[in-house]
Amino acid sequence: MGRFVLRRLLQSVVVLLGVTLVVFLLLQLVPGDPVRVALGTRFDQQTYDALRERSGLDRPLVVQYLSYVGHALTGDLGVSFRSGQPVTSIVLERLPATGSLSVTAVLFALLVAFPLGVLSAMRSGSFVDHAARVFSQFGVSVPDFWMGIMGILLFAGVLGWLPPSGYVALTDDPAGWASHVALPAAAVGLVTASILTRFIRSSVLEVLAEDYVRTAEAKGLRRRVVIVRHVLRNALIPVVTVVAVQLASLVGGVIVIEVLFAWPGVGRLTYDAVQARDYPVLQGAVLFVATLFLLMNLLVDVLYARLDPRITLR
């Protein structure tokens, strides 16, 4: 186990180096001067040259990239062009907002997808099964921002039950946080639930066709015991991968939802960095999301070995 984790961590470093190189090269193709955007419309040449030199943009591209990687290995992701604050602290400040939204959305998705997927598989071909598949197809086809807009119109505009946008920290006001997170979490969670419903249904159907399930039923075990001990325990192992990947993707992939609901998370930070040509912040946000993906994949592999003794890590 220790050797496996160490090898995966070393491989992750190589992958992150590739991510930093791709992002760095792509940023060079983006039109616009980040220094001019940071200074605004009124500045003199001396101020422009000073900020460009301080940001390291006057050096060759190879030197810029190597300098960035060297500092990143020590945890220094640079300084924001716009605010002058360290990128690491900016990303960490936005992490609680995105983390709370992502976790809430995944929990909401599991509450919907788990019973719906299992019930659909247990009653394959029934009305419940058809309804579950229609819901799943609808959730996959409809974008989350459309659901967010419909939620704002209905629950904030017509009914007035929930605020249309904004953010309240969980530690400051739990009730206020819950009312503000409900709409964005539901918009994202419904899409995630549709994906999980299809996956859970397929996984349960596959396990129901296994010989050991028929053997357990032939021995006279009650249906509930067979489902809980044999079917769900084995069917939900692959679901761990989907849940982990969905959680990691939500942390870096809810940009539109965070902009729509004025949610101050990592996605909104990335959007603002693109608008302002704030390259250090954009690079730091992408690097953070890539690191999270790699760590979640490593965690899934370790959990697989713990949940299924047949799996060995080498």
Query: What are the pLDDT digits (tens) for 289-314?
Result: 888 888 887 887 777 767 666 666 66
Helix (H) or strand (E) holding 270: helix 266-276
Separation of alpha carbons 181 and 162, rounded Å = 9
Write down the pLDDT at residue 252: 65
Q: How far is CA 147 from CA 22, 34, 142, 163, 178, in A?
A: 33, 35, 7, 15, 18
Segment among 29-38, 130-139, 233-242 with least mean pLDDT: 29-38
Could you please state the CATH topology (level 3) that the domain comprising 94-277+292-307 is classified under: MetI-like fold (1.10.3720)
Task: Give the chain's mean pLDDT.
Answer: 81
Q: What is the pLDDT of residues 218-233, one digit of tens each?
A: 777 777 777 777 777 7
CA atoms 305, 107, 132, 228: torsion sign: positive
Q: What does the pLDDT average to over 206-218? A: 78
- Answer whether 140's CB lies under 8 Å from 194's CB: yes
Every domain of the chain with CATH number 1.10.3720.10 lies at 94-277+292-307
**Cα(194)–Cα(191) distance, rounded to whole angstroms?**
5
What pLDDT shows up at residue 311? 63
CA distance 216 to 230: 8
Which tokens is 120 given? 């659909």
Partnered with residue 79 across adjacent β-strands are 86
Q: Let me know: does 135 contact 116? Beta carbons within 8 Å.
A: yes
User: What's the pLDDT at 40?
Assistant: 67
CA 47 to CA 39: how far, in whole Å? 9
Residue 309 confidence (pLDDT): 61
Distance CA 176, CA 204 (A): 38
Q: Report percent pLDDT > 90 for the chain.
A: 0
